[in-house]
Structure 1
Amino acid sequence: MKLSVLVLITALAVGLSIGLVNFHFQQSWYFMLVSFAVSFVTSFIMFYYLLEKYIYSKIKLIYKLIHNLKLGKDLKDALGEYVSTDPINDVENEVKEWAGAKKQEIDLLKKQEQFRREFLSNVSHEFKTPLFAIQGYIETLQDCLLDDPEMAVKFLQKAEKNVERLSYLINDLDAISKLESGEVPIDYRKFDFVLLAKEVMEALEDKAGNRKIQLSFKEKYMHPAFVNADREKIRQVMINLISNSIKYGKENGSTAIKIFELHDQYLIEVTDDGIGIDEKHLPRLFERFYRIDSHRSREVGGTGLGLAIVKHILEAHQQIISVRSTLQIGTTFAFTLQKIG
């Protein structure tokens, strides 16, 4: 409500009240109208002056500050030209919006704090496991270096594997950090995804054979599928997804790669018939270090960062990845890539 309307209503109320009181005592319409007019004019001038000087001007200042600070201006710029014609209503709306935004910001900060604590705990755990193992092997190695050289060699080999695990962990953390900060540029190039998929399948053929898992790429998908993306990073995506399907697939099972042509994209699916994933785990599957079964995850190896890296690579391409899974039936990871004719 504008200031003039507010003052007018208030002055009318005061003038009418005084006029009616005067009429009650004087019983004269003339004196009632005179008292009404005088009190109305006096009240209007007085209220307008008081509200404008001591209240309305302060509300306008508050609104200007809120409105301009929300736009990211500094304090000096926030005191610039006034832009609202109804600051009282605008202040209410601005404060409500600001309060809602602050609540969302606080909720987000709480989630980030919880994520930070979990992340630090997971990083600490992931580093401690191989470090303690290396420490134990070295201590044992010192005792048997001269007495049992063969055993010493075995402990050296085990220590070496844990050093490699630490190296993989550090490299993966560094890769995620660079992807998140945008330090790693995306080298967009036109290439045939079908050829890349065949290369990855050949590279992982022995690994799949050790678990008696068959890798398949149906003949109908063998015609060229040209995409615009960073070939090496998409190669990493495919290696991570297929490696996961091999790790968590069942023996004598299979992993299939499928390509579906959409309007301006290709949809790529990596499907296995393995143990599947419970639905409750799906929303957190791409979080760093999130493990469904910690014991099995450590048995099959890995840093717990593979899917997080996959997600970051595809997001850097402005593409999406999704997962669907059913326990004891299998899992499908699907992502999109920009198609080039």
Structure 2
Amino acid sequence: MLTTSRGISLVLAIAISTLTVAFLFLLDDATPTLLLVAGAISFSVAYILMNVTLEFLIFKEISSIYSVLEKIQKKDYTVVSERATRLSISPLRKINKTINTYAQSKNKEIEALQKNAAFRREFIADISHELKTPIFAAQGYIHTLLDGAVEDKSVRLKFLKRAAKSLNALDKLVQDLLTLNQMESGVIKFHFETFDLKEVIHEVIEELEHKAERRDMLIRFYYDKEKTYRTLADKDKIFRVCQNLISNAIKYNNDGGEVEVHLKSHKNHITVEVKDNGKGIPPEDLKRIFERFYRVEKSRSREKGGTGLGLAIVKHILEGHKSKISVSSTLGKGSIFSFELPVEKGGTRKGS
């Protein structure tokens, strides 16, 4: 009984009313009626005040604290609403709020750890598959040669070329992984210089024209010939961004399709858009295409080549330029990738 607010209030109210009656009893003019009324009033007032104080300012807060502590003990870090705590005038409010804040921070930590664990599992599965494919291919060709096919010159040359191709793919995958890791850790520095973005895109298109011709595809470059498109950026890395975007537009386009590159100059920035008229990207995949190894169509993407790291590298390069890659896509009509770089208004800056 004494563990509840009512029990404690009852005991304290009886004690207070008893003391009140005892004090009044010492007076000469105290009558039995006065003592009775005074005792009843003091008991009622004391009981109500004590009960309200204990119930709403102490026991309720203690109950809330115990509730949160039980959740923490069970590793359930879902947070109790802080609204009642915020409106309360209880001296235990700060303790309750502190525990709630702790539970909330722990909940966020657990969610982050769960996401990281899921990402690690997915990453390990993806990289294992990506590494296994070229290794097994090269291994198969070499073992076939060792089993006797090396004596046949035509077979030997063909299998060695295929093994070399698989090992080249493996080397490219490892290099892309190292590049991405170095970018994320800040090991790779950006070397800014002034250059004409139009010239860089021309170089990329010249490099990839033969790849487009093999699939009867056209690359069209739209820009204002009377303008210069000078920017301050890392030229080699921006070359790689344009190379990756245009190469992907060719790779995932339809045979006989077109790739359009638009270069637009604005007051303070230059916009680059790479557009294809291929199959497009489903809406549910748009948010994930910049993740490592994420492929919209895994089987077909691997057949087309590539490491699955290109767009992740593009994202990190542009973040290093304080820019970002944007994408919009319509199924059956194609995709548009775009990014912005600042207009150079004079001066050069090397290193970062």
Same fold (TM over 0.5): yes
CA distance in 2, matches of 1:19, 1:228: 88
In structure 1, what is the equivalent of residue 17 of structure 2? Answer: 18
Change (3 A) 1:163 1:19: same
**Deviation of 1:28 (Å):** 3.8
Q: Residue 250 and residue 96 in structure 1: after superposition, are their counterparts in 2 closer, same or farther (change >3 A)?
A: same
TM-score by length of 1: 0.75
Aligned to 1:149: 153
Shift of 1:88: 3.6
CA shift digits 1:55-113 (9 cap, x unpaired): xxxx9xxxxxxxxxxxxxxxxxxxxxxxxxx9743333333233222212211211110
Please state how far the C-alpha of 1:267 moved relative to its aligned partner.
2.5
Q: Which amino acid aligns with 2:150?
A: L
The aligned residue for residue 99 of structure 1 is 103
Equivalent position to 2:334, from 303, 313, 330: 330
Given residue 165 of structure 2, which amino acid in structure 1 is its aligned partner?
A: K
Which one of the candidate residues 287, 291, 295 is aligned to 1:291?
295
Determine the C-alpha separation between the residues in 2 that align with 1:87 and 1:221. Answer: 74
CA contact (8 A) 1:189 1:230 kept: yes
Deviation by residue 1:275-308 (Cα, 9 ceiling, x = unmatched): 2111111111111111111221122111111111
Count of residues in correspondence between the two structures = 293
Alignment of 1:135-284 (within 5 A): 135-142=139-146, 143-146=148-151, 148-220=152-224, 223-262=227-266, 264-284=268-288
- Output the CA distance in 2 between the equivalents of 1:231 and 1:265: 16
- Is contact 1:19-1:32 (8 Å) kept? no
Secondary structure at the residue paired with 1:145? helix
Q: Deviations over 1:170-193 (max 9, x none)?
A: 000000100111111111222221
2:113 to 93, 97, 109: 109
How far has the Cα of 1:121 moved from its partner? 0.7
Task: Letter of the 1:128 partner, please give it.
Answer: K
Q: Residue 209 of structure 1: CA displacement?
A: 1.4
In the alignment, structure 1 segments of 5+ residues that lack a partner are 1-9, 41-58, 60-85
- 1: distance between equivalents of 2:105 and 2:264? 41
| Cα distance change on mapping 1:221 and 1:319 into 2, 3 Å | farther
Matched with 1:123 is 127
Kindly state the Cα deviation for residue 19 of structure 1 after the two structures are TM-superposed.
7.5
Q: Return the alpha-carbon distance in structure 2 between the equivalents of residues 327 and 226 of structure 1.
A: 35
Q: Output the amino acid matched with 1:117.
A: R
Amino acid at match of 1:178: Q
Is 2:223–2:263's contact at 8 Å kept on the other side of the alignment? Answer: no
Q: Is the 8 A contact 1:191 1:227 kept in 2?
A: yes
How big is the shift at 1:205? 1.4
Deviations 1:238-285, CA, capped at 9 Å, x for gaps: 111111011111122111112334553322211111121111111111
Seen in structure 2, the aligned counterparts of structure 1 residues 155 and 26 have a Cα distance that, compared at 3 Å, is farther
Tell me the C-alpha RMSD between the 2 structures. Answer: 3.7
Give the whole-Å Cα distance in 1 for the aligned partners of 2:273 and 2:296. Answer: 21
Cα distance in structure 1, aligned partners of 2:192 and 2:182: 17
C-alpha separation between the residues in 2 aligned to 1:150 and 1:183?
46
| Cα distance in 2, alignment partners of residues 200 and 109 from structure 1 | 41
Distance 1:93 1:265, change over 3 A: farther
- Amino acid of the residue matched to residue 112 of structure 2? L
CA contact (8 A) 2:272 2:340 kept: yes
Q: Are 2:223 and 2:264, in contact at CA under 8 Å, matched by a contact in 1?
A: no
Letter of the 2:258 partner, please give it. S
Q: Pick from 301, 306, 309: which aligns with 1:305?
A: 309
Compute the TM-score of the two structures, normalised by the length of structure 2: 0.73
C-alpha distance in structure 1 between counterparts of 2:300 and 2:216, whole Å = 18
User: What secondary structure is seen at the aligned counterpart in 2 of 1:220?
Assistant: coil
Corresponding position of 1:340: 344
Distance 1:259 1:93 in 2: 55
Decide whether the 8 Å contact of 1:227 with 1:337 is kept in 2. Answer: yes
Q: How far apart, in 1, do the equivalents of 2:292 and 2:248 lie?
A: 15
